[in-house]
């Protein structure tokens, strides 16, 4: 039985290290599934399983423990950055800025409460211990890792702050949930209504493309090409189908328009009225997608690395016999396929066109879904390499004994977000399947929590029985509850916020719609001037009045065949 004793006691042997981590993570993940009053701790229970294992003597070589702790944190943070990247930059626009400011306010309130409590209890608790309580109360595991890394720079030798973190964490979860329930009661919030309001806000924010049908009733467009019209309107749109006479086909930029032609248009919602006004009128009694035609519709996946970072205009769609890309789906968002849009591996492209032409487009894009199951290891480790370098760059701050660094929490996060946003333009494939991303995140956070718990196991029980454990828990509750209450006094339920957005993405009063309608009417007259090479001065400033009498096409707008919807 010497082999068993060696396996259980040799803290430096690889089998022992694998045994301890496997046992701790498996038990913690299993217990984390248990729900009490509908609440479970998930993988966070790995921390408490590791604390128990450390208390009963299971430990590993300190050098290996610190390596796995930092490596797990780095991997977790990096893949979090890749996950949030698609919505990170858009979150700073319009209503997202309000939510970001509320988040910053909550963080600042939490820091203020922590500082106030530290001043009150500085004779009992050290600042590092207070920081452990803070990050446990706000359930911020990466913050704990960043603080531990910073304390190592200052040669900190006091009590492991993971003990304070572990004491404050459970009540931090309960306090957050309790605060949410209290908020619902105070503001009488109905979750079903909030979900609908949130969905409406998201749709307005992301400006998903819309499709509609227009009929060419503007005589000035007779004999003009779609590309000419697109340039005159100066608004992006895609014509996916055209009904000319009795035949339906897939148009391209050189397709010539004739009176009474009907087109199926895809555009951003805020330019629809101007497009309808320019063409003539909207048709709501027809759907060319439902009519019998030789066109097919396919959703193709971008899997070919040579297409990664390529702009849609570089695909040379005109050479593919009338294939039109009408939408691009990326990370749960629907994007308008403007000519300058960069494609990324993992994008789903909605194509319309003749079957043979769509087949050629499929060969160009790849559309081999199984290829995406193989993660791009090169980009992952390039990102980790750059993240470690960025996190290690020192920033000298006057008055501090050591320079500040972003560390293993900040560096990989920033690099992952930037790579996810700009990587395709540098021909770097940053796509990972959701399941692969989640697996790497879960693996990283489990390694980190297991390492933290094993290191804190000796002091946790002592802190709860003879030390400051109860005080950590009480202070953690205050740090959790007070910022939530302070923030929510300033917040309004989503259904009380204005939902209408103007073309610039900002909120506007609904009375701006008549002005937009006026701009659309004037755009039609301006387009007619451009098509007939007439000076723009012939277009009246007031589109609600009659056209300028010198305009050769001048007719009272009341007689013009324009229908705005």
Cα–Cα distance for residue pair 451/459, rounded to 1 Å: 14
Q: Confidence band (pLDDT; 50, 70, 90) for 534?
A: very low
| Residue, of 481 and 479, whose pLDDT is higher | 479
- How many other C-beta atoms lie within 10 A of the C-beta of residue 314? 13
**Lateral strand order in the sheet of 295-301:** 295-301, 348-354, 324-330, 333-335
**More reliable by pLDDT, 78 or 100:** 78
According to the model, what pLDDT value does residue 318 have?
61
Asked which of 165-169, 252-256, 267-271, 551-555 is least confident by mean pLDDT, the reply is: 551-555
pLDDT at 494: 41
Q: Determine the pLDDT at residue 78.
A: 93
Least confident span in 23-27, 258-262, 270-274: 270-274
Over residues 70-92, the mean pLDDT reads 83
pLDDT (mean) for 4-21? 87
**What CA–CA distance (Å, rounded) separates 127 from 136?**
14
Backbone CA torsion sign across 350, 355, 359, 360: negative
The rounded distance, in Å, linking the Cα atoms of 220 and 6 is: 90
Asked if the model's pLDDT at residue 528 lies above 50, the reply is no
Of 300-309, 314-323, 395-404, 551-560, minimum mean pLDDT range: 551-560
pLDDT band, very low/low/confident/very high, at 308 (cuts 50, 70, 90): confident
| Nearest CA among 132, 154, 91 for reference residue 452 | 132
Cβ distance 16 to 8 under 8 Å? yes
The more confidently predicted of residues 560 and 56 is 56
* 332 pLDDT above the threshold of 80: no
SS3 468: coil
Check whether 68 has a pLDDT greater than 60.
yes
pLDDT at 114 exceeding the cut of 50: yes
**Poorest-pLDDT segment among 100-109, 284-293, 515-524:** 515-524
pLDDT band at 102 (very low <50, low <70, confident <90, very high): confident
**Selection from 153, 113, 106, 154 nearest residue 131 by Cα:** 113
Q: Please determine, for residue 196, whether its predicted confidence score (pLDDT) is greater than 90.
A: no
- Quick one: tokens of 485? 């209450």
* pLDDT at residue 201 in the model: 67
Question: What pLDDT does 514 receive?
Answer: 39
pLDDT at 159: 83
CA-CA-CA-CA dihedral for 133, 135, 139, 140, to nearest 10: -170
pLDDT of residue 95: 57
pLDDT bucket at 17, cuts 50 / 70 / 90:
very high
> ∠60-73-308 over CA atoms, to 5°?
135
Q: For residues 126 and 117, is the Cβ–Cβ distance under 8 A?
A: no
Cβ–Cβ under 8 Å, residues 310 and 343: yes
Of all residues in the chain, the percent with pLDDT exceeding 90 is 21
Is the pLDDT at 133 greater than 80? The verdict is yes
In whole angstroms, give the CA distance from residue 54 to residue 454: 5
- What number of CA atoms fall less than 13 Å from residue 221's CA on the CB side? 32
pLDDT score recorded for residue 495: 40
Q: How would you classify the pairing of strands 324-330 and 280-283?
A: unpaired
- Residue 14's CB is within 10 A of a number of other CB atoms, namely 10
Local structure of residue 267 (DSSP, 8 states) = E
For 490-519, the pLDDT digits (tens) are: 444 444 433 333 333 333 333 333 343 444
Question: Which residues partner with 366 through β-bridges?
Answer: 302
Any idea which of 16-20, 106-110, 211-215, 500-504 has the lowest mean pLDDT? 500-504
Give per-residue pLDDT as tens, 408-461: 888 999 999 999 888 887 878 888 888 888 999 999 999 999 998 898 887 788
Q: Which residues contact 307 (CB under 8 A, 6 or more apart)?
A: 315, 343, 345, 364, 365, 366
Cα distance between residue 244 and residue 216, in whole Å: 10
The pLDDT mean for the chain works out to: 78
Query: How high is the pLDDT of residue 85?
Result: 78
Q: SS3 for 180-228, per residue?
A: HHHHHHHHCCCHHHHHHHHHHHHHHHHCCCEEEEEEECCHHHCCCEHHH
Q: What angle do CA 506, 508, 512 make, to 5 degrees?
A: 130
- b/e 540-565 (16+ beta carbons within 10 angstroms → b): beebeeebeeebebeeeeeebebeee
190, 234, 242, 193: which is closest to 214 by C-alpha? Answer: 242
Closest Cα partner for 137 from 175, 172, 113, 109?
172
* Rounded distance between C-alpha atoms, residue 185 and residue 488, angstroms: 12
Q: In angstroms, rounded to a whole number, what is the distance separating the alpha carbons of residues 210 and 196?
A: 19
* Range 258-270 average pLDDT: 90
Terminal-residue alpha carbon distance, the chain: 84
pLDDT in tens, 165-186: 888 887 787 777 777 777 777 8
pTM: predicted TM-score of the whole model, two decimal places: 0.66
Q: Residue 351, exposed/middle/buried by CB under 10 A (0-12, 13-18, 19+)?
A: buried
486 pLDDT above the threshold of 60: no
Which of the residue ranges 77-86, 113-122, 184-193, 233-242 would you say has the lowest mean pLDDT?
184-193
Residue 233 scores a pLDDT above 90: no
Higher pLDDT, 331 or 506: 331
pLDDT at 499: 37
- Sign of the four-CA dihedral 313, 315, 320, 323: negative
Query: In the predicted model, is pLDDT for residue 249 greater than 60?
Result: yes
**Which tens digits make up the pLDDT trace of 148-162?**
888 887 888 888 888
């Amino acid at each position: 039985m010497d082999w068993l004793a060696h396996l259980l006691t040799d803290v430096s042997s690889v089998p022992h290290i694998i045994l301890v981590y496997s046992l701790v993570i498996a038990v913690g993940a299993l217990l984390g599934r248990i729900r009490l009053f509908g609440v479970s701790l998930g993988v966070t229970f790995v921390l408490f399983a590791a604390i128990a294992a450390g208390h009963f003597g299971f430990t590993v070589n300190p050098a290996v423990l610190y390596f796995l702790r930092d490596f797990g944190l780095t991997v977790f943070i990096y893949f979090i950055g890749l996950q949030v990247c698609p919505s990170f930059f858009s979150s700073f626009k319009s209503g997202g800025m309000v939510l970001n400011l509320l988040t910053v306010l909550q963080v600042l309130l939490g820091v203020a409460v922590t500082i106030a409590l530290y001043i009150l209890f500085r004779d009992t608790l050290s600042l590092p211990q207070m920081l452990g309580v803070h990050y446990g109360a706000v359930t911020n595991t990466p913050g704990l890792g960043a603080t531990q890394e910073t304390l190592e720079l200052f040669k900190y030798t006091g009590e492991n702050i993971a003990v304070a973190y572990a004491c404050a964490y459970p009540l931090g979860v309960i306090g957050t949930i309790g605060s949410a329930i209290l908020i619902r009661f105070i503001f009488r919030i109905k979750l079903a209504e909030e979900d609908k309001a949130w969905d409406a806000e998201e749709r307005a924010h992301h400006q998903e493309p819309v499709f509609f049908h227009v009929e060419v009733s503007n005589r000035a467009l007779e004999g003009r090409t779609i590309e000419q019209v697109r340039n005159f309107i100066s608004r992006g749109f895609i014509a996916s189908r055209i009904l000319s006479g009795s035949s339906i086909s897939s148009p391209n930029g050189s397709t010539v328009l004739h009176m009474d032609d009907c087109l199926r248009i895809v555009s951003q919602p805020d330019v629809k009225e101007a497009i309808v006004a320019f063409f003539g009128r909207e048709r709501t009694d027809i759907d060319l997608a439902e009519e019998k035609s030789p066109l097919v519709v396919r959703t193709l996946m971008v899997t070919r690395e040579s297409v990664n970072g390529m702009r849609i205009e570089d695909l040379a769609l005109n050479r593919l016999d009338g294939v039109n890309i009408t939408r691009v789906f990326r990370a749960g968002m629907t994007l308008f396929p403007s000519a300058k849009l960069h494609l990324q591996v993992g994008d789903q492209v909605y194509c319309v066109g003749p079957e043979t032409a769509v087949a050629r487009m499929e060969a160009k894009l790849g559309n081999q879904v199984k290829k995406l199951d193989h993660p791009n290891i090169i980009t992952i480790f390039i990102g980790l390499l750059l993240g470690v370098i960025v996190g290690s760059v020192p920033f000298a701050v006057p008055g501090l004994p050591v320079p500040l660094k972003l560390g293993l929490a900040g560096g990989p996060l920033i690099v992952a977000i930037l790579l996810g946003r700009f990587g395709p333009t540098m021909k770097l494939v940053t796509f990972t399947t959701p399941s692969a991303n989640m697996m790497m995140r879960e693996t990283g956070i489990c390694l980190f929590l297991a390492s933290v718990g094993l290191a804190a196991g000796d002091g946790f029980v002592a802190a709860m029985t003879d030390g400051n454990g109860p005080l950590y828990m009480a202070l953690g509750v205050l740090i959790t509850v007070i910022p939530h209450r302070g923030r929510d006094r300033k917040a309004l339920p989503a259904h009380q916020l204005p939902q209408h957005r103007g073309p610039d993405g900002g909120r506007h009063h609904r009375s701006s719609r008549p002005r937009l309608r006026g701009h659309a009417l004037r755009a039609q007259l301006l387009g007619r001037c451009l098509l007939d090479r007439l000076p723009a001065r012939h277009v009246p400033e007031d589109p609600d009045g009659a056209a300028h009498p010198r305009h050769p096409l001048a007719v009272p707008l009341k007689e013009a065949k324009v229908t705005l919807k």
